[in-house]
Amino acid sequence: TGLTTLDYGFVNTAATKSAITYIDGDQGILRYRGYPIEQIAANSSYLETAWLLIYGELPSASELEEFDNRIRRHTLLHEDLKRFFDALPHNAHPMSVLAAGVSALSTYYQDSLSPKDPEQVEITTVRLLAKLPVMAAYAHKKSLGQAFLYPDNSLSFVDNFLRLNFGTLAEPYEVNPVVSKALERLLMLHEDHEQNASTSTVRLVGSTEANLFASVSAGINALFGPLHGGANEAVLEMLAKIRDSGEGVARYVERVKNKEDGVRLMGFGHRVYKNFDPRARLVKQSADEVLEALGVQDPLLDIAKELEAVALADDYFIERKLYPNVDFYTGVIYKAMGFPTRMFTVLFAIGRLPGWIAHWREMNNDPQTKIGRPQQLYVGSPARDFPAR
């Protein structure tokens, strides 16, 4: 038709209007519904921020309480769904387990899958927020070979999640308030980031009028990749490799610059932030605070800091405007909290869930939404005759 513009990676193409999150990548600004991320991180909670993203305004105290209570009432998983986890291999990656679990939710709630019925969308929203952390903890327990715990709905959202991960049937579990506060803050920092790859995936799948469980499951799979949410796991692996190989930070940075074996500095660079990632600043602060409060001394944090200093002073990174992103320091904190490396991206998924839901609902309510259907420029063979047989 002559109308198609080629734009690999959608670098310059807006696929939608959105009123949820504002980013100014040159100035390092991130706002949820107009509120600066720094103020959200200092004052809000995971569920309050989720409400803000999904419904557009901060909840009143009673709205928040009701939302919280409603989510607590939906934390239980169907016993058969619990057994579904038993069928998966113990060494499965928890992200694969999580995506499969969310996909399976649509088999249990077949009566509330319609995107066209607001009440069904509402209950699916609550079920996802309530059950994703439980399934995440089951994925973790499964990898340890430990028994699953039932949720304790007298606990807050984050404390319940910590207990499901680190509690055992043998002993009562006491939540460490430092860990709880830090985890809540990290989850808030991840709640939305406008049209990133996983959110765009959720919107694209949702644009076909697929249900919210199916769309979020697709989002989890998109987040899994090391260039997206999987970067937090990849950062820790990279830091451990630098430590174990003994090659030193400077040598590793040289290898990155020479593009040897395609190695990248994981946790560095961002499609949108070309100055700094405001989330990374907040996370770095948390890393120091949490490790100190927990009395953890981790040489990987020292390597991370050295790596950051070397990269920020190097022309290769300066010219390309590459700065630490949100994933650079999160892994060190999750590790100090006791999470295994493979759980890091799962934590990102729990963080991002409210954003996925908010975007799916915004798309679903927008009369201008059309099925997502990119164009291509065909570069294959011209027409030819199939060999006669």
Piece of 63-71, 151-159, 222-230, 238-246 that binds ligand CMC (CB under 6 A) = 222-230
Is residue 271 at the binding interface for ligand CMC, with CB under 6 A as the rule?
Answer: yes
CA–CA dist 123, 171 (Å, integer): 34
Angle at 189 between CA 183 and CA 195, to 5 degrees: 140
Question: Which one of 19, 42, 227, 309 is in contact with ligand CMC (CB under 6 A)?
Answer: 227
In the complex, least distance from residue 317 CB atom to ligand CMC, rounded to whole angstroms: 7
| Cβ distance to ligand CMC smaller for residue 143 or 330 | 330
In the complex, least distance from residue 284 CB atom to ligand CMC, rounded to whole angstroms: 14
Question: Which one of 48, 192, 327, 362 is in contact with ligand CMC (CB under 6 A)?
Answer: 327
Is residue 284 at the binding interface for ligand CMC, with CB under 6 A as the rule?
Answer: no
DSSP letters, 243-305, are: HHH---HHHHHHHHHTTGGG---TTB--SS-SS--HHHHHHHHHHHHHHHHHT---HHHHHHH
Residue whose beta carbon is closest to ligand CMC = 269
| Cβ distance to ligand CMC smaller for residue 161 or 348 | 348
Who's near 154: CB < 8 A, 6+ residues apart? Answer: none
Q: Is 86 a catalytic residue?
A: no
Who's near 120: CB < 8 A, 6+ residues apart? Answer: 111, 112, 113, 114
CA–CA dist 298, 332 (Å, integer): 8
Question: Which one of 77, 81, 202, 265 is in contact with ligand CMC (CB under 6 A)?
Answer: 265
Question: Which one of 72, 228, 284, 335 is in contact with ligand CMC (CB under 6 A)?
Answer: 228
Is residue 242 at the binding interface for ligand CMC, with CB under 6 A as the rule?
Answer: no
In the complex, least distance from residue 40 CB atom to ligand CMC, rounded to whole angstroms: 17
Interface with ligand CMC: number of residues (CB under 6 A): 20
Is residue 231 at the binding interface for ligand CMC, with CB under 6 A as the rule?
Answer: yes
Alpha helices in 2-146 (DSSP H): 37-43, 46-55, 61-73, 79-86, 94-108, 118-144
In the complex, least distance from residue 227 CB atom to ligand CMC, rounded to whole angstroms: 4
Piece of 204-212, 239-247, 321-329, 331-339 that binds ligand CMC (CB under 6 A) = 321-329
User: What does the radius of gyration of the chain's CA atoms come to, in whole angstroms?
Assistant: 22
CA–CA dist 194, 19 (Å, integer): 9
Catalytic-labelled residue, pool 327, 359, 366, 385: 327
Residues 17-56 binding ligand CMC (CB under 6 A) are none
DSSP letters, 140-184, are: HHHHHTPPPPPP-TTS-HHHHHHHHHH--SSS-----HHHHHHHH
Is residue 322 at the binding interface for ligand CMC, with CB under 6 A as the rule?
Answer: yes
Residue type, 385: D
Pairing of strands 21-24, 35-36: unpaired
Is residue 267 at the binding interface for ligand CMC, with CB under 6 A as the rule?
Answer: yes
CA–CA dist 353, 54 (Å, integer): 10
Q: Is 228 a catalytic residue?
A: no
- Which residues of the chain form contacts with ligand CMC (CB under 6 A)? 9, 196, 227-229, 231, 256, 264-271, 320, 322, 325-327
**Which amino acids are annotated catalytic?**
270, 327
